[in-house]
C-alpha cells in the first residue's frame, strides 16, 4: 500500500509539472497574453491585464476599473491588517480561518507599480487566460443574493478585500493558491511544492522572464 501511495504521489507531481498543451502550446508565438507573478517577499500574487478576464469576473463596481488587476489570497485577519503581528501570524498558520482575495488595480506597468517587488512575466494563451478568469470568479465567495462579500479596503490606493472560498491553514498557503491560479493557464508549475514565494518564483522563472527584481 505504501508503494502504491508513493507511485500515486509521483504521478500526481509529474502530471502537474507538465504543461497543458491544449491551452499552453510549445510554440511561444502562440502564447501572446502576459501574466505576472509578483512576489513581495513572503507572499506572491498573480496579475493580468484586465481586458483578458473581465468578461469572466462577477459584475461588481467595486472591482477596480483599471488596466491591470492583481490577485492574492490569504487569511482574512492577517492579510488585511497592515500591522499584523506574530499572534495573528501564528493564528493564521495553526487554525483554519476565513480567507480573502485581495484585488489590486493599476494603470501603470506592473513592474513600476510594484517596483520594490520581484516580477516575473509569463506568456500564456487566450484560452489559458479564460481559464484563469474562471478560476478567480469561482474563488470569490458570494452572498445568498449572489453578490461579492466586501471585507475591507485593500492595502493600496485602488484595492479591495473580498471574502474568498476555502479556509486558510498550513500547508494551504497563499503561495500555493497563486501556484494553483497560474496552473489553470496551463503553465507547468507544481502547486504541491509552492509552500513559499521563493518556490513560486523558482518555478515561474523556468518559463518566464524576470522584469523586476528585489530578491
pLDDT tens, position by position, 49-101 = 999 999 999 999 999 999 999 999 999 876 766 555 445 444 445 566 899 99
Q: Is the pLDDT of residue 139 over 60?
A: yes
Longest dimension (CA), the chain: 54
Sheet holding 97-106, edge to edge: 150-153, 159-168, 97-106, 68-75, 44-49, 33-39, 118-124, 209-212
Domain count, the chain: 1
More confident residue, 20 or 52: 52
> What is the C-alpha to C-alpha distance for residues 82 and 76, in angstroms, rounded to an integer?
12
Half-sphere exposure of 64 (CA within 13 A, CB side): 24
pTM of the model: 0.87
Q: How would residue 18 be classed by pLDDT, with cut points 50, 70 and 90?
A: confident
Q: Which domain holds residue 195?
A: 2-212
Amino acid at each position: 500500500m505504501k508503494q502504491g501511495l508513493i507511485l500515486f504521489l509521483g504521478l500526481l507531481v509529474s502530471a502537474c509539472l507538465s504543461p497543458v498543451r491544449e491551452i499552453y502550446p510549445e510554440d511561444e508565438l502562440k502564447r501572446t497574453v502576459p501574466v505576472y507573478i509578483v512576489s513581495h517577499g513572503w507572499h506572491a500574487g498573480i496579475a493580468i491585464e484586465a481586458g483578458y478576464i473581465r468578461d469572466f469576473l462577477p459584475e461588481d463596481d467595486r472591482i477596480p476599473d483599471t488596466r491591470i488587476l492583481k490577485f492574492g489570497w490569504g487569511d482574512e485577519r492577517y492579510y488585511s491588517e497592515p500591522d499584523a503581528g506574530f499572534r495573528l501570524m501564528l493564528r493564521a498558520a495553526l487554525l483554519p480561518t476565513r480567507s480573502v482575495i485581495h484585488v489590486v488595480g493599476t494603470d501603470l506597468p506592473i513592474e513600476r507599480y510594484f517596483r520594490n517587488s520581484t516580477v516575473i512575466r509569463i506568456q500564456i494563451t487566450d484560452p489559458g487566460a479564460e481559464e484563469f478568469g474562471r478560476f478567480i470568479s469561482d474563488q470569490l465567495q458570494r452572498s445568498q443574493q449572489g453578490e461579492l462579500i466586501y471585507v475591507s479596503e485593500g492595502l493600496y490606493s485602488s484595492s479591495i478585500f473580498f471574502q474568498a472560498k476555502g479556509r486558510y491553514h498550513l500547508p494551504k498557503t497563499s503561495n500555493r493558491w497563486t501556484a494553483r491560479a497560474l496552473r489553470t493557464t496551463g503553465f507547468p508549475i507544481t502547486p504541491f511544492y509552492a509552500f513559499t514565494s521563493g518556490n513560486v518564483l523558482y518555478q515561474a522563472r523556468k518559463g518566464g522572464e524576470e522584469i523586476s527584481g528585489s530578491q
